[in-house]
Amino acid sequence: MHELGIVFYIIRDVKKAAEENGVKHVSAVVMNIGEVSTVIPEYLDDCWRWAADKEEILKGAQLKVNRLEAVSYCEDCGQEYETVRYGKTCPHCGSGRTYLLRGNEVEIKEIEVS
């Protein structure tokens, strides 16, 4: 499953950041996940629970997800629009010459320590 692979990357990066900051235990990891990234937050959470509890430094740590809206840009009229609602076609002018500006992030925003 895709999300498990992602969780292993998150754990690797978080452990590294914790080490660099002299942190002994992480209580939460905050993620930014774009609406059109291929990651499904609910699956991610299941994988997280299973994998994080195997790591001493992450025992019981929560995974918090900020969902980021996806926005596309139209090259023909120069306007932005909601990607999920309108897809590849610009709702302002009907052009298909559009591209994604943001919304496919899978990013560790911060970690919480207590």
Partner 1 sequence: MEEVKIIEIKKSVFGENLRDAEELRSELKEKGIFLLNLMSSPGSGKTTTLIKTLSLLKDRLRIAVMEADIDSDVDARKIREATGIESIQLHTGGMCHLDAEMTRQGLENLPLEGVDLVILENVGNLVCPAEFDTGSCTNAMILSVPEGHDKPLKYPLMFSVCDTVIINKTDVLEYFDFDMEKCREYVHMRNPRAHIIPVSAKTGEGIPELADWIYKLVTNWKNDSSYA
What's the sign of the alpha-carbon dihedral 82, 4, 52, 109? Answer: negative
Binding mask 10-29 for partner 1 (x = CB under 8 A): x-xxx--x---x-x---xx-
Decide which of partner 1, Zn ion, none touches 95; Cβ closer than 5 to 8 Å per partner kind. Answer: Zn ion
8 A C-beta contact, residue 69 and residue 35: yes
Q: How far is the CB of 76 from partner 1 (least distance, A)?
A: 16
Euclidean distance between CA atoms 6 and 54, whole angstroms: 16
Please, which residues have CB within 8 angstroms of residue 42's CB and are 6 or more apart in sequence? none
**Residue 10 touches which of Zn ion, partner 1, none (Cβ within 5-8 Å per kind):** partner 1
Inter-residue contact 29 to 63 (CB < 8 Å): yes
Pick one of partner 1, Zn ion, none as the site partner of residue 93 (Cβ within 5 to 8 A by kind).
Answer: Zn ion
92 binds Zn ion (CB under 5 A): yes
Binding status of residue 107 toward partner 1 by CB under 8 A: yes
Least distance in Å: CB of 15 to Zn ion? 45
Beta bridge partners of 32: 66, 107
Amino acid residing at 60: G
Residues that bind partner 1 (CB under 8 A): 1-2, 4-6, 8-10, 12-14, 17, 21, 23, 27-28, 38, 88, 96, 105-114
